[in-house]
Structure 1
Amino acid sequence: MKKHVDIFTDGACSGNPGVGGWAAILRYGGREKSLCGGEEETTNNRMELMAVIEALRALKESCAVNLTTDSKYVVDSIEKGWVYGWEKKNWMRTPHEPAKNTDLWKELLPLLKKHEVSFVWVKGHAGHAENERCDQMAVGEIKRIKEQKMF
């Protein structure tokens, strides 16, 4: 039987594109681990994806995961099957429009095969405790990166 892990993620961006941050909280068996990071030039959707990727990467074995995010982009792309369609069409949304963030989708898809992931969408900035914490951590990464750029 697979271990059950609860994951909460969020991404943030100051400007879009701009400086971005991502964060994740992982819970298993009464323990909790927080992860965060960021990039100097990115988009909000990339940070949302990075949070999910890094959280799933942190799992040392195949797990049953309940992943809560406020990203409709991530949830809809997977649950509505858009990403699988883009993959089948050689990462094209339409015959003349490439899919965005294909590098990150290519990292995420094998992780989704490794783990049994159930997605839960929550409205951002609506009082969900873990989502608010992830948002604070992601925004903290933006501040950290901006401060580093000053010196």
Structure 2
Amino acid sequence: MASDDIVVSLPPDPDNVVEIWTDGGCKPNPGPGGWSAILTFRNVVKELSGAEAETTNNRMELTAAAEALESLKRPCHVVVHTDSQYLKNGITRWSTGWVRKNWRNAAGDPVANIDLWKRILAAAAIHRVDWKWVRGHDGNDMNERADRLATEARRAAFGADK
């Protein structure tokens, strides 16, 4: 390319973006937990969910993102919506430093949930991923649906009183 060539970067085509909405939680925390992810592509919707007996809210939030990204069949542009500041900040701000410091945090201690962070980074590496934070329990239909799916997964696995 000549130095005077003009390079135009086009915005992503909204018709070719996979939108993912994730959520996870426990009751109590730590305790039985559930996670969910809703993937949308054009007019197709896929819902994923699961549960674990002994876990934390943060582990369930991370599991939702890992499972969603791992379920994609080919590289694509992805927008992940999460109500977890831990997930959003971890992946967009802290993970580069953790990797550089051999998975140690600012205090020099091992990073919590390293197994899940590594899954997310590996799954995200083949995609163009934009991470978006949304306020939880604030009337966003997709976030509310993800919350219900995670709760239903936890209750189905461990009982309605949980």
TM (norm. structure 1) is 0.91
Greater RCO, CA 8 A, separation 6+: 1
Counterpart in 1 of 2:85?
72
Inter-partner Cα distance in structure 2 for 1:12 and 1:94: 26
Counterpart in 2 of 1:49?
62
The code of the aligned residue for 2:156 comes to R
Counterpart among 106, 130, 134 of residue 118 in structure 1: 130
What's the % identity of the aligned pairs? Answer: 45
Deviation at 1:38, TM superposition (A): 1.0
Counterpart in 2 of 1:132?
144
Counterpart in 1 of 2:36?
23
Counterpart in 2 of 1:143?
155
Extract unaligned runs of 5+ from structure 2.
1-11
Structure with the bigger percentage of helix? 1
What is the count of residue pairs matched by the alignment? 147
Q: Secondary structure at the match of 1:87?
A: helix
Counterpart in 1 of 2:8?
none
Counterpart among 41, 64, 89 of residue 101 in structure 2: 89
Deviation at 1:140, TM superposition (A): 0.7
Query: Bigger radius of gyration, 1 or 2?
Result: 2
Inter-partner Cα distance in structure 2 for 1:96 and 1:8: 32
Q: Which runs of 4+ in 1 moved over 6 A?
A: none
Extract unaligned runs of 5+ from structure 1.
none
Q: What is the CA RMSD across the aligned residues, in angstroms?
A: 1.7
Inter-partner Cα distance in structure 2 for 1:32 and 1:112: 20
Inter-partner Cα distance in structure 2 for 1:109 and 1:96: 21
Deviation at 1:26, TM superposition (A): 0.5
Inter-partner Cα distance in structure 2 for 1:107 and 1:123: 25
Deviation string, structure 1 residues 127-151 (Cα, Å, up to 9, x no partner): 1100000000101111112139xxx
Inter-partner Cα distance in structure 2 for 1:92 and 1:15: 28
Counterpart in 2 of 1:109?
121
Taking a change above 3 Å as real, the CA distance of residues 73 and 95 of structure 1, as seen in their structure-2 partners, is: closer
Is 1:62 the counterpart of 2:75? The answer is yes
Inter-partner Cα distance in structure 2 for 1:95 and 1:4: 38
Inter-partner Cα distance in structure 1 for 2:97 and 2:158: 37
The code of the aligned residue for 1:99 comes to V
